[in-house]
Structure 1
Amino acid sequence: MLIPSHRFLSPSLLLPPLHPLSLTSFLFLVQLISLLFCFRHSMSQSSPFFSIARAHAGAGGRAVAAALLLRQPVAQLPPNIHSLRCFPLVRLTHAKILRSHLSLPRATLSSFADADDGSGTKAGDAEAREEQNGECETSEMAKAFHITPRMAMSISVMIAFAALTVPLAMRSLVCHGTFKMSVLAYLTLLSGFYMAWNIGANDVANAMGTSVGSGALTIRQAVLTAAVLEFSGAFLMGTHVTSTMQKGILVASVFQGKDSLLFAGLLSSLAAAGTWLQVASSYGWPVSTTHCIVGAMVGFGLVYGGVNAVFWSSLARVSSSWVISPVMGAAVSFLVYKCIRRFVYSAPNPGQAAAAAAPIAVFTGVTAISFVAFPLSKVFPIALLQALSCGAIGAIIVTRVIQKQLGELLSSEAEKIASTEKSNVQQVGFLSDIGGPTGAQLQIVYGVFGYMQVLSACFMSFAHGGNDVSNAIGPLAAALSILQGVASSAEIVIPTEVLAWGGFGIVAGLTMWGYRVIATIGKKITELTPTRGFAAEFAAASVVLFASKLGLPISATHTLVGAVMGVGFARGLNRVRAETVREIVASWLVTIPVGAVLCIFYTMILTKILAYFM
């Protein structure tokens, strides 16, 4: 048995325990300091936004980008361009654009509007390759965030130091008595951190990939935003799903009297899933972390416990969600995008219609988050009323922001609706974006929905943190409970510090490796613009948050892929890249058996090592 017969704390290993709230604040502070190091410099001319504007908006685009990036209040543009107030999508500055009317607003908002240089090569891609060739000696992280390699190394060292030292002061380590038990608890916490780190490196792209792909956010803006919201979602919402992952997959009674074997299996599950996720992240493959960890645990249970070691009813419920979640994501995103086309693109004044639709979307999202994640009362009518109040406040704030930034443009465009814009909407089919608004109207629509896409990405990040932290915290909490001798109890209390530890791991992985998958997922299935990206993210976040409340560990990857496909289907079946979809589905099919095989292999090794600690 792993349960110690006496208590002995090694002063050379353990530090005084931290209060859970103190630990939470410390972890968040470490991550915030690391991110501030990364974001403290102003964005350089090599940033993605500046490259797009420089390539496609000519001198006007360069002036606008320079004003935004250098935080100048006024952008001086060529005299042949009309006056317009810029809607601050990329940076919340109040920059006035003098004598400006961007002829290609999509160029500054969507990475898919890259111009062709006549040789079949996109100008933006060519400049990106030149930049990569010129900076091949710098680290990938430094190039992604436009910082020096030394600063990138400092951030990585700071995170690594926190990961190795913080567990020494956690109560989950101190309470395990003997030196050997403390070592095992320390290794368990590191294994959970490793899994959470890889979740952040791979799965967080589900939340921010579409925003980066459409140009609404740069990579480092996406990382900073996701860092705060992923940690908040994991810390505040993680308990709903963790209870399913820790005891809903394996039958602990089958391993009665085999605590060391069960302990080895749980640690092996974390190590196996983390290994495959790290391999996938290194190649930029978006795979399902839920598939990884569930496949690893089931593989261990079948080999070392037999058929009766797996809760097949619970596994069937989880497995069905892997099919249902992409279907639900596709259906919701299809409806959202159809509504955008019906009530915004086809409206007589698309700009005003977009400005009117934004508060409705914010009201829906804020109300859902308030009711599901932050119920202030257990009485349903009171909780619902409070959630509706929060949603109304959010809608009012968004309305004021839009009116402040676009008020002059909205009023001027309301007086004159171009006949060409009307004819375009009428002549082109309902499923095509080409027949939507043009000119200033398109600028307004993309401006509003670019802002809305950022909000939907925040919504998705929060929901993802609450759902996917269970993939690391579930096995971690179960393993720690074995060391405490309560593995077969009716309820296993998830310590606050353990949830904070998982959230910190997700944010650390996002900071160090998240840019790899974020940079590619936005272009894999269908071309995205702010309207399409908003529809996909809003739909996926709604499905994930709803599943988290029900305690159903669905795959956020499946949900987002389904949502993006739904947007593509709304534009026409030929708008979805079938080859990319086949590759993604193939990676899903490979993930489960790879996780199971790696878990079995690691368990064989750990069982021999644990013989020393028994």
Structure 2
Amino acid sequence: MSPYAFDLYFLQLITGCPPTHFYVETARQTTVVDYESTRVGPGVINTPRFSGLSKLDPGYRNSILSRFCRTCIFLFVRVSAELNPPPPRATDAFRMPILHQWDYLFAFGVIFAGLDAFMIGANDVANSFATSVSSKSLTLRQACLAAALFEFLGAVLVGARVADTVKSGIIPLSVFRDNAGVQLLSFVCALVSSSIWLTIATRRSWPVSTTYSIVSAIAGVGVAVGGPNAPNWGWNGGKGLATIFAGLIIAPAISAGFGSAVYLLIKFIVLKREDPTKWALMTSPFFFFLVGAVCTMSIIYKGSPSLGIDKEGPETLAAAIVGTGAVIGLLSVVFWAPFVYAKVVKKDYTVRWYHFFIGPLLWKREPPADAGTIGAHSAIPDYRIRKEAHEEPKPDNLSIETDSEKGNRHVDEPAQQPQHSKLSEEVEKADPHPIEGAWVEPKNLYIIARYKTIPFIKKVLTHGTNVDIHAMQAKEGDTVDGHADTRHRYPNDTEHLYSFMQVMSACTASFAHGANDISNAIGPFSVIYQVWSTGSSAASKSSTPIWALVFGAIMLVIGLATYGYNIMAVLGNRITLHSPSRGFSMELGAAITVILASQYGLPVSTTMCITGSTIGVALCNGDWKAVNWRAIGWIYLGWLLTIPIAGTAAGCLMGIILNAPRF
């Protein structure tokens, strides 16, 4: 056989067809000519029958070389099919955007949705832990870590996967006339207005309602698109704009009633007794049961719309609520009671947090010989708020000294400031990592990145967790001492027993907030993404992607950690005296209000509930001066300004863009 003839036969062996009908075959497009087999494609490999081999010698056709070549070709086609898969189909998980001409609007939506979530963390989430931090049940860093965990878990694990496209039915979908571009622009303008207003309010320390902010912004764009009759100005089954104005009165009033009821129960059953610590231990299982039941109700009615738990029968829900509360009460008897008994009653300062898990063994644990003596170390934190403890400025305090502070200062203090200045200058001069030569040199770039840039970024991101909340509250002349009668302070040991329950209620409120309100905040952004990716108007219900919830939760946690202290300082001791027993009553009263309101469709806000509960608990002291009414006035002013400012800003922005001249 000549070499040329062998090449032809080998080509026929490889292709399975005569050389004149040889075609290139790919994994994405298969062209079969003169084949006696089906196509070759990804996942389906049908080897040709090599009909041209019938002209060869039978011995060669069945030889090892022939089989080896066919096997190699089979493997080559199979690997090519795997390495070159067909393009993915357009599904909900993978969808290429349709409205490429509006990519810039989607980019604006991402930016301002992130800013909105950031400010929700700095303003709204701070409400859940403001009383715990002000009562000293948690440090600011512990509160940020707890909020980061429970807000994120609530949003990702049981967060609502379906959010109202048009928040709370403020404007009907017919306003957009099936125009995807107008709907996309409307929600971008709403996010821009809401996020900017939240930024201003947080900077001014106004604990405004984030829900009211976005609802007002959507109403504003509704007026710009469909005219003054487009929004639902009436009650609309608890979803109209009238509910916003009603909520300004309803939420604080109801929450104040529940908060004061819980605190009066603790006050007369425990705090007013001759031995309040003993009574606090005896009644603690009941309050643990109450906290467990309320927390379960909060998760069922506010935090699990995607799981459908709230759709179960009333008997099942009642059994779940009572059963969970009973289990938590029983666990408190087994583990918590002996733990606090060893710390509070026996004064055992050697007890650590991990001893909590040995439970009943702590009943027989012997305290140190000097436990309870005057010079012994105390195992109980000091929950008393002392203004004088924060009067002296710290070395790292960068606040500018006013003339009044100079006049009230001790005569020996002026000589201290130059010392601090000289010390800081010496520290700056003694830089352990100086930059020598041009900064673009590799070693200097490493020094800048390692010892300059990274510490600066770390300082910026952790600044909010290092702020002394109580020092901020004490800096105001009309706070703490001016609005809290020292006659209403109770034993520190007794207050300690309510700190754990207060932390439980705060974490549960944070979990429910992440599960329910995060999806509502990300709702406008999910509409923007749906319209941008599909090119059609969003329906009345819009699915919220999991990555959007994760994005919102991350921005929310960053906002709380970096700027949440500004709102915590306002909602704490600047309004009234805080302690673990008072803070527990405030949080529990607010939680009960939110749960009942969600069941009956009443318009309430978390911010308004915690503020009203704080006022109700403060008035239980029997004195109007126990409340800082000036601070309350500023808070109410922020609530009232939210509605017209957010709505007007969004409406004007939308109207200007819609009616802008074009050429």
Please, what TM-score do these two structures have when normalized by structure 1? 0.62
What is the CA-CA distance between 1:184 and the residue it aligns to? 4.1
Q: 1:327 aligns with which of 253, 259, 265?
A: 253
Counterpart CA distance in 1 for 2:636 and 2:545 is 36
Conserved 8 A contact 1:352-1:410: no
Counterpart CA distance in 2 for 1:171 and 1:184 is 21
**Alignment CA distance shift 1:282-1:587 (3 Å):** same
Conserved 8 A contact 1:268-1:603: yes
Counterpart CA distance in 2 for 1:288 and 1:392 is 34
SS of aligned partner of 1:492: strand
**Structure 2 unaligned blocks of 5 or more:** 1-90, 348-483
Identity %: 31
Conserved 8 A contact 1:176-1:185: no
Q: 2:625 aligns with which of 574, 582, 589?
A: 574
Amino acid at match of 1:256: R
Counterpart CA distance in 2 for 1:494 and 1:486 is 16
* Structure 1 stretch displaced more, 336-345 or 190-199: 190-199
Deviations 1:567-612 (A, max 9, x none): 1111122211111111111111112222123213432565589999
Paired residue for 2:280?
354
SS of aligned partner of 1:525: coil
What is the CA-CA distance between 1:269 and the residue it aligns to? 1.1
SS of aligned partner of 2:112: helix
Q: Write the mapping of 1:40-189 to structure 2, written as runs, cut at 5 A.
A: 174-177=95-98, 179-180=100-101, 184-189=105-110
SS of aligned partner of 1:565: helix
Q: 2:118 aligns with which of 197, 200, 208?
A: 197
Q: Does 2:610 match 1:560? A: yes
Computed over aligned residues only, the root mean square deviation of the Cα atoms, in angstroms, reads: 3.2
Q: 2:514 aligns with which of 447, 458, 465?
A: 465
Q: 2:545 aligns with which of 455, 473, 495?
A: 495
Conserved 8 A contact 2:224-2:655: no
* Structure 1 stretch displaced more, 186-195 or 333-342: 186-195
Amino acid at match of 2:139: T
What is the CA-CA distance between 1:377 and the residue it aligns to? 8.1
* Structure 1 stretch displaced more, 511-520 or 174-183: 174-183
What is the CA-CA distance between 1:230 and the residue it aligns to? 1.9
SS of aligned partner of 1:217: coil
Paired residue for 2:523?
474
Paired residue for 2:590?
540
Counterpart CA distance in 2 for 1:480 and 1:181 is 11
Q: Write the mapping of 1:217-366 to structure 2, written as runs, cut at 5 A.
A: 217-235=138-156, 238-239=159-160, 242-243=163-164, 246=167, 248-312=169-233, 313=236, 314-315=239-240, 316-366=242-292
Q: 2:637 aligns with which of 586, 597, 605?
A: 586
Paired residue for 1:504?
554
Please, what TM-score do these two structures have when normalized by structure 2? 0.58
Amino acid at match of 2:493: I
Report how many aligned residue pairs link the two structures. Answer: 422
**Alignment CA distance shift 1:435-1:171 (3 Å):** same
Amino acid at match of 1:462: F
**Structure 1 unaligned blocks of 5 or more:** 1-169, 414-431
Amino acid at match of 2:647: A
Deviations 1:48-105 (A, max 9, x none): xxxxxxxxxxxxxxxxxxxxxxxxxxxxxxxxxxxxxxxxxxxxxxxxxxxxxxxxxx
Paired residue for 1:418?
none
Q: Write the mapping of 1:1-12 to structure 2, written as runs, cut at 5 A.
A: none
Paired residue for 1:396?
330
What is the CA-CA distance between 1:525 and the residue it aligns to? 1.5
SS of aligned partner of 1:526: coil
Amino acid at match of 2:605: S
Deviations 1:160-216 (A, max 9, x none): xxxxxxxxxx96784424544555444433332221111001112211111111222
Paired residue for 1:370?
296
Deviations 1:377-425 (A, max 9, x none): 8243234323332222222233334323232466679xxxxxxxxxxxx
Q: Does 2:653 match 1:602? A: yes
Deviations 1:312-368 (A, max 9, x none): 322223442332111111010010111011111123431122223333233223233
Counterpart CA distance in 1 for 2:556 and 2:264 is 34
Conserved 8 A contact 1:241-1:467: no
Counterpart CA distance in 2 for 1:520 and 1:490 is 38
Deviations 1:499-533 (A, max 9, x none): 33322222121122222222332123211111111
> Would you tell me which structure has more helix in proportion to its own residues?
1
Paired residue for 1:137?
none
**Alignment CA distance shift 1:190-1:508 (3 Å):** same
Counterpart CA distance in 2 for 1:238 and 1:545 is 17
Amino acid at match of 1:506: L
Counterpart CA distance in 1 for 2:231 and 2:93 is 27
Conserved 8 A contact 1:233-1:463: yes
Paired residue for 1:522?
572
What is the CA-CA distance between 1:240 and the residue it aligns to? 8.9
Higher relative contact order (CA 8 A, sep 6+): 2
Counterpart CA distance in 2 for 1:361 and 1:175 is 53
What is the CA-CA distance between 1:257 and the residue it aligns to? 4.2
Counterpart CA distance in 2 for 1:188 and 1:455 is 36
Counterpart CA distance in 2 for 1:579 and 1:211 is 23
Larger Rg: 2
Counterpart CA distance in 1 for 2:117 and 2:660 is 24
**Alignment CA distance shift 1:273-1:237 (3 Å):** farther
Counterpart CA distance in 2 for 1:264 and 1:190 is 14
What is the CA-CA distance between 1:433 and the residue it aligns to? 7.9
